[in-house]
Amino acid sequence: MIEKKVWFITGAGRGMGVDIAKAALAAGYAVVAAGRNPERVAEVLGESDQLLVVKLDITDPAEAEAAVRAAVERFGQIDVLVNNAGNFIAGFFEEITPEQFRWQIETNLFGPLNVTRAVLPVMRRQRSGLVLTISSTAGLIGQEFCTAYAASKFGLEGWIESLTPEVAPFGIRTMVVEPGFFRTDLLTPESTDYAEGSVGDYAERTRQTVAAWNGMNGQQGGDPAKLAAALVRLAGQEQPPLRWVAGADAVEGVERKANELLAQVDAHRGLSSSLALDGA
């Protein structure tokens, strides 16, 4: 076991993963940087005695196991797992093929499950660790054109919330992050796949939505380097937050959703509370 903490970061070759890896290294941590293209990961992160680059397709459980073994062989432990890797399949539900929808769930939900399943035995042996999972405001707030993506992120939220009490007795904590719009690669062709238009009723709305998102790409207000530095700071706390809503736009959206939920509960409170068996 080494004295400094070891971060295991998925999707470390592009987007937010690069910033998180750089921030962890700058803070003095050892980093296992995982990606489907290890050559790209090594290129963007450079060389360091405290850096191990491993190949990892998160949809492959065998690769997850191998990457974790390599991390433990090199550093002896894993203290922080960052489930960051993912993709984005966008489009109206009727135009997203079943295969595309399954692939979205396979990547954004089952991918983190695969990696976490491989890491948890290490953390249980240590009786310590943090599972830090990058979700999205789409994990709390649904919107049109995002049915597959929101389904994957809503699933991620429910899984982490339920996992938390299961692993807490072993000294393992969880933290889920809901970023708003940050200037990352999410809306680039490398990260976003659009459903092919097949239903005429959606054609004009699709054109408008894709044009708006293309115009937003590279113009998002959030700074991913600041986000990464904040994540490192929060992860270093004795009690990291169970949830962290990241970005002013995310805070506004989540507050609005929370108020809507409370209003929906209150609107039918009497009826909802009248459903018990008579005499119960």
Amino acid code (one letter) for 4: K
pLDDT in the model for residue 279 = 80
Which residue among the candidates 5, 152, 153, 194 is catalytic per the annotation? 153
Assess whether 191 carries a catalytic annotation.
no
Predicted pLDDT of residue 210: 85
Among the options 149, 152, 194, 202, which is catalytic? 149
Question: Has 194 been annotated as catalytic?
Answer: no
Q: 69 with 183: CB under 8 angstroms?
A: no
Superfamily of domain 6-249: NAD(P)-binding Rossmann-like Domain (3.40.50.720)
57, 37 Cβ separation under 8 angstroms: no
Long-range contacts of 142-148 (CB under 8 A, 24+ apart): 144/92, 144/205, 144/209, 145/90, 145/91, 145/92, 145/206, 145/209, 146/90, 147/92, 147/93, 147/96, 147/101, 148/89, 148/90, 148/91, 148/93, 148/96, 148/100, 148/101, 148/104, 148/105
**What integer pLDDT is reported at residue 198 of this predicted model?**
80
User: What does the pLDDT look like over 54-90, one tens digit per residue?
Assistant: 999 999 999 999 999 999 999 999 999 999 999 999 9
Low-confidence ranges of the chain (pLDDT < 70): 1-3, 183-191, 216-221, 280
Which of the following is catalytic: 135, 136, 152, 202?
135
Contacts of residue 208, Cβ cutoff 8 Å, sequence gap at least 6: none
Return the pLDDT at 264.
98
Tell me the DSSP string of 41-81. Answer: HHHHH---TTEEEEE--TT-HHHHHHHHHHHHHHHS---EE
pLDDT of residue 2: 57
Phi–psi pair at 191, nearest 5 degrees: -115, -20
Coil, helix or strand at residue 238: coil
* Active site (annotated) includes residue 149: yes
Cα 246 to the center of its chain, rounded Å: 12
